[in-house]
Chain A
Amino acid sequence: MGVEGIGARALRKEDKRFITGKGKYTDDKVLPRMTYAAFVRSPHAHAKITNIDASAALEMPGVEAVLTGHELVADGIGNLICGWMVHSKDGSPMNMGAWRALESEIVRHTGQAVAVVIADTQELARDAADAVNVDYEELPAIVSASAALLDGAPQLHPEAPNNLIFDWEIGDEASTDAAFASASHVTRMEIENNRLVPNPMEPRAAVADYDVAEEHYTLYTTSQNPHVARLVLSAFYNVAPEHKLRVIAPDVGGGFGSKIFIYPEEIVALWASKRVGRPVKWVSDRTEAFLTDAHGRDHKTVAELALDANNKITGFRVKTVANLGAYMSLFSSSVPTYLYATLLSGQYDIPAIHANVKAVYTNTTPVDAYRGAGRPEATFVVERIIETAAREVGMSPVDFRRQNFVRSFPHQTPVIMCYDAGDHDATLDAALKAIDYDGFPARKSEAASRGKLRGMGLSCYIEACGIAPSAAVGSLGAGVGLWESAEVRVNPVGTIEVLTGSHSHGQGHETTFAQLVSERFGVGTETVAIVHGDTDKVQFGMGTYGSRSGAVGMSAIVKALDKVEAKAKRIAAHLMEASEGDIQIEGGVLKVAGTDKKLSFSEIALAAYTAHNLPEGMEPGLKEGAFYDPTNFTFPSGTYACEVEVDPDTGKTEIVNFVAADDFGKIINPMIVEGQVHGGLTQGIGQALLENAAYDENGQLLSASYMDYAMPRADDVPSYQLLTTETLCPGNPLGMKGCGEAGAIGSPPAVINAITDAINNNDLAMPATAERVWRASRGALPQAAE
C-alpha cells in the first residue's frame, strides 16, 4: 500500500481477514468455564403465563440454572426503554408499556422470552429449554395496527388505552386544508409499506463475563454502538455502573439498524453471568433472529396531494398508522415521526404540509430502525404520489417533477428540515441520460412485439442523514446527543492510531478513515490503524447508523487531525527555525516553503515524544482528541430510474436496467460508496419485489425462516449503473453526505412506479410478487382474456 488519500479507490484493508475466514466475531469468543444460554420462548402472540415448571430441566445433567422474570425483577434489573420521547398532538407524552427482559406475566408477541436456561453446552441448554414446561392461558391477539385502534380490539398494555402509543402531528394543518380547498386537482392514494426483517448475515450474539474479584462485567456483543449499549445497560437496566462494565463489539457481520438496540438477550446474558458465576454465551439462531430482531417499516398511509391549475403542488396531507409491535424498542418512536414526516417534502417545493402519525401496539415483534428508518417510508409515499399525480394530470413524470423541484438553497420545508445544498436537476439529467429515457418508447414497442410489458419508473429521493445535531434532536425528544468523538494518537515511530466512536460492521471504516490520515500527512494507509468497538479503548462514541460515520465520525477525525497537524507544524517550525506558517506537509515530509529544509513526519513524532527540544511551554506527545457535533443533517439526494419488463403470462418482473444517480457530496472512496449503494439498492428492490414479514391473524409469524422469507438473490437484480454528481455539504469540513441508506430509501418507489407503468394499473402493493403483478396486470390487459 502507499499513499491513498481522498478519492482513491483503495482496496479494503479489512477484507483480507473477512474473506479468508479470519474475522473475529462474538461467537468466536471462547472463555474458560463458559456456559451457554438458551431462551424459552412463547409460542403464543398474546397469552397469560399461568405457570413455569423448570423442574425437569433443572434435573438434567449439565444444567446450571433456569432463570425467569421473577429472579430478574428481584435482582433489580430494569425494564427496556424507548430513548426518544415523542408527544402526542395534545401535548401528552407517549404511552410506553412495560417491557421486561424476561416476561413472567403476559407475553405479547410470538417468540418473546419467558425463561433462560444456562447449561454447560449449547445443545444441553437447548434441550433443557425444551424441557421447561410453561402453561399459558391464551388471550385474543391483534396483528393489524389499524384494527388495533378500533373499539373492542384486544388490549396490549394498560399504559396505552386503545393500543395507541401516540397521536402525533407535524406541519400546519390550517394552511394545508386551505391549499386543498382551493386545489384544482387532488390525488389521493392509500399506500402500504410492508414489514421487513433486517437479516444481517451474522445473527445477534453475546458473551458476558462477570469478574467476581473486580465486580466488573465484560460484554462481547454484536452492537453497532457499544458505548450506547453500555450507557443504556448502566443507566436504565441497572446491570452495572459504567466504570464496571466494558462493552466490546468486535467484528460484526452487518446490522442495518437491527444491532443499534439493546435487546433482552444481552441484558439477560450479563445478569446471568453474575448469577451463575461463569461466563455466558448466547448466539441467536436464524429463526430467533426473525422473531426478535427489531423489524422495519409496517406503515399504512393515506396521502393526498393538492395541485393548482398549473400543476404546481400546493399542499400535501398525510395520515399514517405505524405499527410498532408489542413493545417500544430503543428508538422506535423517532422512526415514524422525526425520521419520516420531516422528509415528506421530498425534492419539492411544497408550501403546506400536514402529517398525522398514529403509533400503535400490536402482538408482533417490535419495530424500529431498519436501513433508512422512516425515510424509505416517506420517499415511498412522496414518489408514488408524485408519479401518480403526474399520470392523473397527463403530464410527463419528468416534467412534473421539474416543475416542482426545490432549486434554491438553503430551503426551509414546512416540516422542520432545512435543505442546505443540492442540485436535483443534475441527478435527474444524469439518470435520464444513462437509462436512455428518450429511447424508452421504442424499447416498449419492441418488448410489446415479444408479448412483454415494459415500464419506466423514476424516484427522486432526498434524505436526511449524518445523524444528527445534538441540540436539534434534543429539542425533538432524543435522550442522547448525536455527536461523534475521535482521537488521533501518533506513536513515537510515526505510525498512527485513530480511535473512533463510529463502529464498522461492514462499512469499511478501517480503509476510508485511514485514507483521511493518508491524505493529511502523506503517509501510507498501512501505517494507520483504526481502533473502534471497545469502550475501554475509545472513551465515548455514538456508533454507526443513520449514515453518520462519514459526515459525523470522519468530521471528528478531521478535527483531531487539525490539532495534530498544528502541533506537528509547531514542532517542525521550532526544530527547523522557521515560521509555523511556512511549514508545508507533503508526502510524509514537513518542509519549510521555499527552502530545502525538511523533516519527516516520523522524525517530528519522535521529537514530540523524546521531548528533548520542544517549543517553550509545549507538552510532550502527539495525541489529540476531538468531538464533532454537526450543525445540520446532511441531505443526500438523487434520481433512481428503473426499467422493468413484465411477463403478462406469469407476472414475473425482470429489472432490465437500473440507474442510480446520487449526490453524496465529497466521496472519500468511490469503490466503498458503490458497495454501499449496491447493498442499499438490493435491499430496496428486495422490499419492492420479494420481502415480507407475514403474520397470520393469531400473531404467528409465518415467514420465520428463509423457506418463507424471500431475500433478494443475485439473479433478482440487474447490474446497476451508478453515477454521482457533487454538491458539497456546507455543514461539515469535508463536504460529505451519507451514502449508507440512500439505495434502500430511493429504490422501492422506482421499482413500483416502473411496474405500474408497465401493467397500466396503479393499484399494486409491495412486495410486487409475480402473483400480485399477474393479478394486477390482468385487470388492465385487453389481451389477458379470462
Chain B
Amino acid sequence: MDIQGEHRIAAPRETVWLALNDPQILRECIPGCETLEKSSDTEMQAAVTSKIGPVKAKFKGSVTLQDLNPPESYRIVGEGKGGVAGFAKGGADVHLAEDGTDTILTYTASAQVGGKLAQLGSRLIDSTARKMADDFFRAFSEKVAGPQSEELATELQDELDPALAEEARHIATEDAAYHTADAVEDVEHAIEEQLQDAEERVEVAAGRGFLGGPYMWGLIVLAVMIAALAVMN
C-alpha cells in the first residue's frame, strides 16, 4: 500500500525541519501517540494506540530517521508490534520545498501490515492510513504555523461573532406569531444558511483549539439552534 500527499505549511522551511525532528511536537501530532522518546539523533521509541476497523491495539515500536539531508529531505521508517493485533511497518520519504515564506511538504509512504490487522482490516487500512496522515499533517501544520493561524482565527471571530450574536439576538426576540408564513420561511432559510456557515467556522476554529476551544463555539451554535427552534414552532 502506497500513499502520497502534499501539505502547505505556513512557516519557513528551517522551522518545519526542526519541528519534524522534535519528539515533543511529533508526539503531539501523531494520532493516538502516547509516548515518543528520542534514543539518539536518528532513533525514537514510540507507543501508539490505533484502531483500524474492528481491531484496536497499542503498538510499540521504533522509528528511525535515515538519509538525512537537512533541511530538504529525510526518510522515516518504523515498525510497530501490536500483540495479537499483528504488526505494522513502513516508511515515508519526506521532502520540504520553499514556496515564498511557506513550506511545501510532500511525502510518499508505504506500509505493510500483518496478523489480525491484515486479516480483518485490510480493506480499511488504506483509508485509515490516509486519515492518520491527514490528521498528522493538519496538526503539524497548525503547530508549526501556530501564530499565524491564531491571527486567522481572531479575524474569524471579529467577523463571525458579532454577526452570529446579532442574528441570534434578532431571531430570539422576534415574536413568530406576528409574521406571515412567507416571513417565517425566509427566516428559516436564513437561519439554515447561517447555521451551516457557523458550524463550518466553528469546526475549523474548534479544531485548532483556539478561542476558548470547542466549548465556547458549541455554546454559540446552541444559541442559534434555540433561536431557530423558537421561530419554527
Contact = CB atoms under 8 A, between A and B. Distances in A.
Interface of A: 40-45, 110-111, 129-131, 133, 287, 290-291, 696, 698, 700-702, 704-705, 707-708
B119 A702 contact: yes
Contacts of A700: 113-115, 118-119, 122
A708 B116 CA distance: 13
A43 B114 contact: yes
Given A129-B84, A130-B83, A130-B84, A43 B120 contact: no
B86 interface: yes
Contact of B112 (A110, A287, A698, A707): A698
A111 B120 CA distance: 13
B115 A287 contact: no
Given A129-B84, A130-B83, A287 B123 contact: no
A42 B113 CA distance: 13
Given A700-B114, A702-B119, A702-B122, 19 more contacts: A42-B115, A43-B86, A43-B87, A43-B116, A44-B87, A44-B115, A110-B114, A110-B119, A133-B83, A287-B116, A291-B119, A696-B118, A698-B114, A700-B122, A704-B120, A705-B120, A707-B53, A707-B120, A708-B122
29 contacts: A40-B84, A42-B115, A43-B86, A43-B116, A44-B87, A44-B114, A44-B115, A45-B114, A110-B114, A110-B115, A111-B119, A130-B83, A130-B84, A131-B83, A287-B116, A290-B119, A696-B122, A698-B114, A700-B115, A700-B119, A701-B119, A702-B119, A702-B122, A704-B118, A704-B119, A705-B119, A705-B120, A707-B120, A708-B123
Contacts of B120: 287, 704-705, 707
Given A43-B114, A44-B114, A698-B112, A287 B84 contact: no
Nearest to B82: A43
B35 to A, nearest CB: 18
Contacts of B84: 40-41, 129-130
Nearest to A127: B84
Contacts of A291: 119
Contacts of A45: 114
- For the complex of A and B, the 9 pairs showing the least CB-CB separation, nearest first, are A43-B115, A704-B119, A700-B118, A43-B86, A702-B122, A43-B114, A130-B84, A130-B83, A700-B114
A708 to B, nearest CB: 6
Contacts of A705: 119-120
Contacts of B114: 43-45, 110, 698, 700
Contact of B123 (A40, A41, A707): A707
Interface in B145-168: none
B118 A702 contact: yes
A21 B16 CA distance: 64
Contacts of B118: 110, 696, 700-702, 704
A700 B114 CA distance: 6
Contacts, number: 53
B85 to A, nearest CB: 8
Nearest to B119: A704
Contacts of B86: 43
Contacts of A698: 112, 114
A375 B118 CA distance: 32
Contacts of B123: 707-708
A40 B83 CA distance: 10
Contacts of A290: 119
A305 to B, nearest CB: 39
Contacts of A707: 53, 120, 123
Nearest to B79: A138
A2 to B, nearest CB: 52
A442 B113 CA distance: 52
Interface in B67-89: 83-84, 86-87
A538 B123 CA distance: 48
Nearest to B112: A698
Contacts of B53: 707
A212 B116 CA distance: 38
B83 A287 contact: no
A157 to B, nearest CB: 22
A131 B87 CA distance: 15
Interface in B101-124: 112-116, 118-120, 122-123
Nearest to A697: B112
Contacts of A111: 119
A702 B120 CA distance: 7
Contacts of B113: 700
Contacts of A40: 84
A43 B123 CA distance: 17
A699 to B, nearest CB: 8
B203 to A, nearest CB: 31
Contacts of B122: 696, 700, 702, 708
A696 B117 CA distance: 13
A45 B115 CA distance: 9
A45 B112 CA distance: 13
B3 to A, nearest CB: 16
Contacts of A41: 84, 115
A702 B123 CA distance: 8
Contacts of A696: 118, 122
